[in-house]
Amino acid sequence: MIREQMSVIQIFKHAGCGQQSCRTLKRFIMLAIALMLVACQPATDEGASAPEIANSGVFTADIVRADNSGWRSHGRTYSEQRHSPLSEISSKTVSDLGLEWSFDLGTSRGIETTPIVHNGIMYVTSTWNIVHALDARTGAKLWSFDPKVDKAQAGKGCCDVVNRGVAIWGQSVFTATIDGRLISLNSKTGEVNWDINTIDKTKPYTITGAPRVVDGKVIIGNGGAELGVRGYITAYSAESGDLLWRFYTVPGNPADGFENKTMEMAAKTWTGQYWQAGGGGTAWDSMAYDPELDLLYVGVGNGSPWNHGIRSPEGGDNLFLSSIVALRASTGEYVWHYQTTPAETWDYTATQHMILAELEIDGKSRKVIMQAPKNGFFYVLDRETGEFISAKNFVTVTWASHIDEDTGRPVENKFARYYGGNKPNIQLPGPLGAHNWHPMSYSPDTGLVYIPAQEAPWVYGEDSEYRYTQGAWNTGTDFTLGMLPSQKAIFAALKASLKGRLIAWDPVEQAPAWTFEHNGPWNGGVLSTSGGLVFQGTADAHFAAYDATNGERLWRFFTQTGIVAAPITYELDGEQFVAVASGWGGSYALVTGGVLPTGSVANVGRVMVFKLGASNALPPLPKTDVTVPAVPESLEVSDDVLAMGVKAYANRCSICHGDQAYSSGLIPNLRYSPITKSRQAWQQIVRGGALEDRGMPNFETILDEETVEAIRAYVISEANSDRGAEFYQSFQ
Ligand code: CA
């Protein structure tokens, strides 16, 4: 079947016909393939005491056609609209929606997985890349696979040990791991077909994204631009795991020779010794694919280091940072790009979700690609050519006034760049973005894009002592700003201005149709349906349905734990199911320690599946100890030592353990860790790698003994501050 179908697809790739006739031929062939597959597939919607396990594989036509019995690709189809035509659960019936089953993932870390459903089986990923195959009707576990990842490598990740899900193709399930592997599993048994390494293990690459599969090619990128890597995306044969093509997103050292003309072109937009910290540009999340155009769209991330003044000191746009790049999917060749943030310097990635749709603009039907990247502007581009159509800010933005319609470039505010003599400034958006990886959805019924948006400002300022440090964060920005005890007023102002909202955005008018204000930022991804509903989980531990036309909240369910993942829906035995995973986590949850969402209890990673008429309950809430632990007395150290501790903590530790040593509880709260009492134990963990197998990096080559001791003094001083009690009160 694989070969038959691939050969059919080759026909229109090499037919040499004119573009229009090719399209007609392609449509005809796609339809023929779809009909063949319908005829071949068992009737999965009938009988079904035990699910049919992957008797029929998944191929391009299944993902394009997207029948309602499954959710077969990360964004449902290659267009990544995350909109389902299912309508049994509707604005009229949703009040009868209840929990059908739940499955505990056995983790208290962040869960970002989008479940994949095919032939009555649901495939989800958990912490440390464990894959579970579940009966989509009952939640019964069919198999689990633990790739036994190298947790020391995982400690080099920027943003929690998360994963966004698997891909399926043929009879296989593909999962990409935090330690850089791509693994093919037998979809029926979970046995390994092949397991390959995709990264240079001497560099801090990690993978958190979900692979996509296009015409038998498994496509995966990676992350690591905070620490210093060179981004790329690779296609591997689904059958063998052989490397088919690789596209670098930024140029390497010219002395090594350029891989292709595109890299030679891109290098002209860089200056200085930009390759030393890798340049960045990691493609760590979003992809979309247009099978008619054979274009694969890749969202590209921020620079390494962030600070453009250090990275490319004589200026330059630094292609393809913060860009959408269109590649020929069959070959990996560059076709076009659009750069959302030229000369990126604020961690304004363009790795955010991209959606393909047909929109009526100025009386013409346009094939568009849409994105709401971190920088706060919503973009509509022509996806055949990359031509800029329109852009407008979807939240408050202070770094740029608008996007120039003639050039498609942002008009920056003068104070936004924090180097070259400019002072630090508080800016919107911050590095967590106006919209991060959390998927949006597009409803062809309403014509609206539903964006999980946020306002999370940050103080940007140059790290005047920056030098590249292998294995550490290399941003060239000073994380102590707004975090120093002397600047608690600024810090409080920052936290008070945090906002999260669901925005229904009209992409033609470039204006909101409605907004729903949440309790705070970092809420879940979005699903829309032809039942006139929008589903979204929230940081404050609820899963809710909104009226797609006016934003009225019609239904919600207390999930015990905050949600960041996106929901999906599928139909089996004539009944519609909606699934979502709880498990608050990721960069925001780690770095803004202590801002545990209201109403949430300690994290429980869990898949929850809902249907009409069901009324099951979640397992009882876990007990949370709200006793404030005793902390050691502050160490007697000089102000200079304490200042050294603050700076080192902010730049090396806060990314995971929370600013001001104020962890949100996903990983150990250092304020109350008994380890702080012992200089020796503290040193053994931080500089001796004693907890490397649990994901705590070894800082031996990054921090000296004296600095590590200063960090201990700082952490204990914070534990003795008034914010301790405040933290524990938030649980009560
Ligand atoms: Ca980043």
CA distance 531 to 81: 15
Sequence-distant (6+) residues with CB within 8 A of 86 are: 68, 529, 530, 531, 569, 570, 571, 576
d(CA 462, CA 653): 18
Judge whether 458 lies within some domain: no
**Spatial distance between the Cα atoms of 420 and 688, rounded to a whole number of angstroms:** 38
Tokens 């909606």 correspond to 578
Distances (CA, A) of 349 to 205, 225, 264, 340: 17, 10, 22, 9
pLDDT score recorded for residue 621: 74
Among candidate residues 21, 48, 65, the one where a domain is terminated? 65
pLDDT at position 54 over 90: no
Give the residue with greater pLDDT, 540 vs 621.
540
What is the DSSP code (8-state) at residue 636?
A: -
Residue 694 lies in a domain: yes
Provide the pLDDT confidence category of residue 551 given band limits of 50, 70 and 90.
very high
Evaluate whether residue 655 is within a structural domain: yes
Q: Is the pLDDT of residue 511 over 90?
A: yes
Three-class DSSP labels, 198-237: CCCCCCCCECCCCCEEECCEEEECCECCCCCCECEEEEEE
Closest CA to 379 of 399, 359, 362: 359
Ligand 1 midpoint to CA 301 (Å): 6
Report the SS3 class of residue 248. strand
How is 97-146 classified by DSSP, letter by letter?
EEEEEEEE-S--S---PPPEEETTEEEEE-GGG-EEEEETTT--EEEEE-
Whether the predicted pLDDT of 31 surpasses 60: no
The 3-state secondary structure of 589-632 reads HHHCCCCCCCCCCCCCCEEEEEEECCCECCCCCCCCCCCCCCCC
Residue 307 contacts residue 300 (beta carbons within 8 Å): no
Domain boundary among 30, 48, 65: 65
CA angle 538, 543, 544 (to 5 degrees): 100
The domain that contains 696 carries what CATH number? 1.10.760.10
How many angstroms separate the CA atoms of 474 and 225, rounded? 8
Would you state the structure tokens that stand for residue 638, as one six-digit string?
A: 């000089």
Q: Let me know if residue 442 belongs to a domain.
A: no
Q: Name the pTM for this structure.
A: 0.89
Residues 6+ apart with CB under 8 A from 36: none
For ligand 1, the distance from its centroid to the CA atom of residue 151, given in whole angstroms, is 21
Higher pLDDT, 493 or 165: 165
Which pLDDT score, from 0 to 100, does residue 268 have? 98
Q: What digits encode the pLDDT tens for the residues 292-321?
A: 999 999 999 999 999 999 999 999 999 999
Averaged pLDDT, 144-160: 86
CB 525 within 8 A of CB 110: no
From 234, 241, 114, 81, select the one nearest 169 (Cα to Cα).
Answer: 241
Annotation says 347 is catalytic: yes
C-alpha dist (Å) from residue 149 to 195, 197, 210, 384:
12, 12, 16, 39
Residue 124's nearest CA partner among 86, 160, 71 is 71
Laid out side by side, the sheet with 364-371 consists of 354-361, 364-371, 377-382, 388-393
- Between the CA of 378 and the centroid of ligand 1 the distance, in Å, is 19
Please, which residues bridge with residue 334 across strands? 327
Give a yes or no: residue 602 inside a domain.
no
Burial category of 325 from C-beta neighbours within 10 Å (exposed 0-12, middle 13-18, buried 19 and up): buried
Q: What does the alpha-carbon distance between residue 678 and residue 676 come to, in Å, rounded to a whole number?
A: 5
Q: What's the pLDDT band for 25 if we cut at 50, 70, 90?
A: very low
Contacts of residue 467, defined as CB under 8 A and 6 or more positions apart, other chains included, come to none
Mean pLDDT for the stretch of residues 452-466:
93
Euclidean distance between CA atoms 117 and 115, whole angstroms? 6
Q: pLDDT at position 489, please?
A: 72
Find the catalytic residue in 290, 347, 478, 659.
347
Whether 697 has a pLDDT exceeding 90, the answer reads no
pLDDT of res. 673: 85
In a domain, 677, yes or no: yes
Rounded to the nearest whole angstrom, what is the distance from the C-alpha of residue 364 to the centroid of ligand 1? 37
What mean pLDDT, rounded, does the chain reach?
88
Residue with tokens 């077969």: 72
Q: Which of 65, 84, 101 finishes a domain?
A: 65
Whether 244 shows a pLDDT value over 60: the answer reads yes
Q: What is the pLDDT of residue 723?
A: 62
CA distances from 321 to 253, 338, 346 (A): 16, 10, 11
pLDDT in tens, 394-431: 999 999 999 999 999 999 999 999 998 888 888 999 99
Strand partners, 429: none
Number of domains in the chain: 2
Residue 416 pLDDT? 96
Please state, in angstroms and rounded to a whole number, the distance separating the CA atoms of residues 334 and 319. 12
pLDDT at 626 over 90: no
Torsional sign, CA 684, 686, 689, 690: positive
What is the CA(664)–ligand 1 centre distance, in A?
Answer: 20
Distance 291 CA to ligand 1 centre (A): 29
| Residues 472, 281: Cα–Cα separation, whole Å | 17
Q: Domain containing 18: what range?
A: 8-65
| Range name among 23-32, 56-65, 574-583 with the lowest pLDDT average | 23-32
At 68-103, the pLDDT tens digits run 999 999 999 999 999 999 999 999 999 999 999 999
> Residue 44: is its pLDDT beyond 80?
no
Give the Cα-Cα-Cα angle 106, 107, 112 (nearest 5 degrees). 115
Structure tokens at 194: 């092949």
Q: Among residues of the chain, what percentage have pLDDT more than 70?
A: 87
Four-point Cα dihedral 443, 449, 452, 457, nearest 10: 180
Tell me how far apart the alpha carbons of residues 227 and 55 are, in angstroms, rounded to a whole number: 43
Q: Which amino acid, one-letter code, is at 541?
A: A
Please give the share of the chain, as a percent, with pLDDT higher than 90. Answer: 70
**SS3 label, residue 8:** helix
DSSP 477: B
SS3 readout for 179-198? CCEEEEEECCCCCEEEEEEC
pLDDT at residue 719, as a whole number: 84
Residue listed under structure tokens 């239904």: 555
350 alpha carbon – ligand 1 mean position (Å)? 10
> Confidence class of residue 731 from pLDDT cuts 50, 70 and 90?
very low
d(CA 490, CA 594): 16
pLDDT of residue 471: 83
pLDDT of 361 over the 80 cut: yes
**C-alpha 5 to ligand 1 mean position (Å):** 38
Residue 726 belongs to a domain: yes
Domain membership of residue 476 (yes or no) is no
Q: Rounded CA gap, 658 and 727, in Å?
A: 12
- If you search the block for the tokens 């996007």, which residue do you land on? 403
Q: Which residues surround ligand 1, an ion (CB under 5 A)?
A: 302, 347
